[in-house]
Amino acid sequence: MGYVFMDSSAVNASHLRAFIERIEKLEEEKRAIADDIKDVYSEAKGTGFDVKIIRKIVSLRRMDRDKRREEEEILDLYLSALGMAD
């Protein structure tokens, strides 16, 4: 703000503003990517694919990934419980 001496409210306000700007910038980027995803679905649809099926495939592949990760986590839990954790 150009002032050398600022009371703590001003510092706070300035910090707060910075946080908010970073968040809003990131949210804007996120929204842009969401739009890109929508575009890809549209393009796929325009090429004759069934969007519903593609969504389901993507969803199933995500579930596979999630399940695999959860299985690794529970393995770690088991090993910990057995005192064999790395």
Partner DNA sequence: TCAGATAAAATCGCGC
Partner DNA sequence: GCGCGATTTTATCTGA
- Under the criterion CB under 7 A, does residue 51 sit at the interface with DNA? yes
Q: H or E element: which one contains 75?
A: helix 51-81
In the list 6, 11, 21, 27, the residue contacting DNA (rule: CB under 7 A) is 27
Amino acid at 14: S
Cβ-Cβ contacts under 8 Å for 16 (sequence gap 6 or more):
none
Binding site for a second copy (CB under 8 A): 15-16, 19-20, 22-24, 26-27, 29-30, 33-34, 36-37, 40-41, 43-44, 47, 49-50, 52-54, 56-64, 66-67, 70-71, 73-74, 77-78, 81
